[in-house]
Structure 1
């Protein structure tokens, strides 16, 4: 059984594909169209034209694993980015599988601090 907890890379093929493609066709697409190795420690994600189906392909130890998720009502919120290959992390893949629009999500910026500050005076009033 596969797990998404190992933090592999996630690559989305931004353009829709012919959904009749199987494991061999998708592995060739990863090599030729995406310029990546299908044997890398990564998930390769594809969708159909209507964005109602998603395929995941990855190689695990002794062979390829092929996963299909099909929606009956709403489409997946596919990222609207210009790059032909979109790189995500596993958390973003989970969000995408849950129907969350990744382009609408805004995170706080990463901060780097030199030292910890004491709490300002107004914080002491709230902690009473």
Structure 2
């Protein structure tokens, strides 16, 4: 079930490039192995961006399973402003 975003307690932006061909298991492994965080933490949204900055993925544990969201902007000039390094953003997960 898709929960309302008002219940989110934390949002983490994974800086840099992520292979968006990865699925739930691979993305949750990045969260746990690379950053030492628990992907099963309720109310925590993890966001990823690939080389093309018109696409993002988001992963959230909803208590009974993961929800994997994918967003692709359709207009050619539309791009997400995504930090590629820790220097580009402070206090975030990089």
Partner of 2:23: 22
Could you tell me how far apart the structure 2 residues matched to 1:25 and 1:61 are? 19
Contact 1:15 / 1:84 at 8 angstroms: preserved in 2?
no
Could you tell me how far apart the structure 1 residues matched to 2:91 and 2:15 are? 7
Partner of 2:79: 75
RMSD over aligned Cα atoms: 1.7
Pairwise CA distance, 1:3: 1.1
Q: How many residues align?
A: 86
Cα distance change, pair 21–4 in 1 and its aligned pair in 2 (3 A): same
Q: Residues 1-128 of structure 1 correspond to what in structure 2 (within 5 A)?
A: 1-41=2-42, 42-73=44-75, 74-79=78-83, 80-81=88-89, 85=93
Contact 2:59 / 2:67 at 8 angstroms: preserved in 1?
yes
Could you tell me how far apart the structure 1 residues matched to 2:60 and 2:14 are? 13
Pairwise CA distance, 1:84: 6.8
Contact 1:13 / 1:34 at 8 angstroms: preserved in 2?
no
Pairwise CA distance, 1:14: 0.5
Unaligned runs of 5+ in 1: 87-128
- TM-score (ref. length: structure 1): 0.61
Q: Which has the larger radius of gyration?
A: 1
Unaligned runs of 5+ in 2: none
- TM-score (ref. length: structure 2): 0.82
